[in-house]
Structure 1
Amino acid sequence: MTNSSFFCPVYSNLEPFPYFFYLIFLVGIIGSCFAAWAFKKNTTNHKCISIYLINLLTVDFLLTLALPVKITVDLGVAPWKLRIFHCQVTACLIYINMYLSIIFLAFVSIDRYLQLTHSYKIYRIQEPGFAKMISTVVWLMVLLLMVPNMVIPIRDIEEKLNVGCMEFKREFGRNWHLLTNFISLAIFLNFSGIILISNFLVIRQLYRNKDNENYPNVKRALTNILLVTTAYIICFVPYHIVRIPYTLSQTEVISDCATRISLFKAKEATLLLAVSNLCFDPILYYHLSQAFRLTVTETFASHKEMKTKDEKSSCENNA
């Protein structure tokens, strides 16, 4: 594997991907910090959906820690030890973010459907205590799957430019990496099914109410759900279409050099789409969390009122 990787420049010429990742990082860190401030300012008891969104925000902060390292490595300016650190730690953080995001978005979709249908028979799963418990279980499950990729011992290789993360792994590490990929794909398929089915049921329920007097609100809710569903598909589906053939190229099941290079570029492009959810999540918080929305609205309203008063006072003084 090392010899063929040396002769096949799979991991070279990464531009312009690092610059797009950098743009996503800037927009994402600003949005995430603002969202954290808004959630912290709201001191009321959090409902289930707010608990899931706070977990989603926590996951986003993990991604903001990982992206600067990836950008530095992709630009080719990272020292050798940082490249090893990226392969062992920060690359795994990106995938932890991806699959925790998918799972918590599924929980948000389920909770939204249950709120709309008032399903009292299963009311207990809408209690904050249940949301905290299931969130803890999800974190433990994903970390148990991903963390071994960080801690399994790697092998020493000669320092060189064109090196991929798989080359650092020993046989057991490669096998665990393959297992992780297939389990991750199963997570994606199952929870994507939950998201799409839940959103379809919500849309159907809202569409039934299109003739009542609250139609403008129903239309707005329908538009929001369709936009969220479309954004989810654009962010995560392309990556998972590419991931399995790309993984096969990493293990040289696919050994043709041109094909491997094409699959790597496709993986980077679709990974770019996947991490762009970092930019969309603050918009999601605003539309789905009433507490978050009220905090933002009240803050901007108070700033606008203060500005109006200052302008009025200035005009009176000038007069």
Structure 2
Amino acid sequence: MPLSNTSHCSIYTQLEPFTYFYYLIFLIGFIGSCFALWAFTQKDQKQKCMSIYLINLLTADFLLTLALPVKIIVDLGVAPWKLMIFHCQVTACLIYINMYLSIIFLGFVSMDRCLQLMHSSKLYRIQEPGFAKMLSAVVWIMVLLIMVPNMVIPIKEIEEKPSVGCIDFKTKFGKDWHVFTNFICTAIFLNFSAIILISNFLVVRQLYRNKYSDSYANVKKAQVNILLITAGYIMCFVPYHIVRIPYTLSQRDAITDCFLKQSLFKAKESTLLFAVSNLCFDPILYFYLSKSFRLKITGTFTAQKETMALTREREH
């Protein structure tokens, strides 16, 4: 048989090494998200746009923590057949719902931070908490309308076998919607990446202009933090979207060479790992961007240190 014959091309194999990284991401992300949830629920009732967007980002992260254990079991190759089907219909979609909600809300966070520095009265209304809540609701509805059909479109029954991909369960309509979804999501990524990069550039430029009026050390630290956040965003999401389109074409047999299909699948899984790792970085983002969150965390640790110091004094 020639190598390009896809009927005997085993693609969905050698996933076990990825599971160890997913397990680590799950543990770190789950602990960080729980800590963030506790801090946000303890803060004052007064909400700003930034806090609303960060809470929505946190909600999306919890969807990812629900999906990762199932993906780990499936990738280890120990999942029952019904769990494999459930993963393909539900939890795999939750991973992508988290990814694009994260991208969108990171875009809103960057834009809101930029508007805060501009102090423009013409743009005041879009910085109101009510507008942020309405916009967040629209985003959730939009993303779910794009993604949920991948969960509910009927699948076809196939013979149980050890090496199978989620695309194998899809009917022709399901595959067409899958391709359509990927192109729409790529457009979302490109647009919101532009928002994030432009907003962060404007923030860095504004900080540079104010370096003589404010503390130079604080301005320098803020600039470095913004550049690190931007670099983290690029590292998490850009590699995946470079691979996504050619991989999608290989799923629809526009690419038929077996070695190339296997390489694209491994590249997709590797870059998806980077995309999912945003679960670990988000708590750092909350700490940097939310003053109330930062004060709560630092206040808690300060109180713990004082309690430990008093306990030692009493013992002596």
Show the counterpart of 2:57: 56
Q: CA offset at residue 209 of structure 1? A: 1.5
CA contact (8 A) 2:12 2:164 kept: yes
Q: CA offset at residue 54 of structure 1? A: 0.3
Distance in 1 (alpha carbons) for counterparts of 2:111 and 2:164: 42
What residue identity is the alignment partner of 2:34? C
Q: CA offset at residue 17 of structure 1? A: 0.6
What residue identity is the alignment partner of 1:269? S
Distance in 2 (alpha carbons) for counterparts of 1:162 and 1:150: 21
Relative to structure 1, the CA distance from residue 87 to residue 55 in structure 2 (aligned partners, 3 Å threshold; closer, same or farther) is same
Show the counterpart of 2:186: 185
What residue identity is the alignment partner of 1:176? W
Distance in 2 (alpha carbons) for counterparts of 1:267 and 1:210: 42
What residue identity is the alignment partner of 1:195? I
Distance in 2 (alpha carbons) for counterparts of 1:213 and 1:228: 22
Give the paired residue count: 313
TM-score normalized by the length of structure 2: 0.97
Distance in 2 (alpha carbons) for counterparts of 1:11 and 1:119: 52
Show the counterpart of 2:28: 27
What residue identity is the alignment partner of 2:228? L
What residue identity is the alignment partner of 1:218? V
The 5 Å alignment of 1:197-236 reads 197-236=198-237
Distance in 2 (alpha carbons) for counterparts of 1:267 and 1:119: 42
Q: CA offset at residue 6 of structure 1? A: 5.0
Distance in 2 (alpha carbons) for counterparts of 1:220 and 1:189: 28
Q: CA offset at residue 115 of structure 1? A: 0.7
Q: CA offset at residue 116 of structure 1? A: 1.0
Show the counterpart of 1:83: 84
* TM-align CA RMSD: 1.1
The 5 Å alignment of 1:1-319 reads 6-315=7-316
1:213-266 CA distance string (max 9 Å, x none): 411111111011000000000000000000000001111110110000000000
The answer for unaligned runs of 5 or more in structure 2 is: none
- Of the structure 1 ranges 224-233 and 39-48, higher mean CA displacement relative to structure 2 is found in 39-48
Distance in 2 (alpha carbons) for counterparts of 1:289 and 1:209: 22
The answer for unaligned runs of 5 or more in structure 1 is: none
- Of the structure 1 ranges 53-62 and 117-126, higher mean CA displacement relative to structure 2 is found in 117-126
TM-score normalized by the length of structure 1: 0.97
- Of the structure 1 ranges 203-212 and 179-188, higher mean CA displacement relative to structure 2 is found in 203-212
1:112-163 CA distance string (max 9 Å, x none): 0011111121101111100000000000000000000000000000000111
CA contact (8 A) 1:42 1:292 kept: yes
- Of the structure 1 ranges 243-252 and 204-213, higher mean CA displacement relative to structure 2 is found in 204-213
Identical aligned residues as a percent: 71
Distance in 2 (alpha carbons) for counterparts of 1:141 and 1:308: 52
**What secondary structure is seen at the aligned counterpart in 2 of 1:147?**
helix
What residue identity is the alignment partner of 2:270? A
Q: CA offset at residue 212 of structure 1? A: 2.8
Distance in 2 (alpha carbons) for counterparts of 1:296 and 1:120: 33
What residue identity is the alignment partner of 2:225? N
Q: CA offset at residue 43 of structure 1? A: 2.7
CA contact (8 A) 2:287 2:294 kept: yes
What residue identity is the alignment partner of 1:13? Q
Q: CA offset at residue 211 of structure 1? A: 2.2
1:14-55 CA distance string (max 9 Å, x none): 131111111111110010000000001113311100000000
Q: CA offset at residue 5 of structure 1? A: 5.3
Relative to structure 1, the CA distance from residue 58 to residue 213 in structure 2 (aligned partners, 3 Å threshold; closer, same or farther) is closer
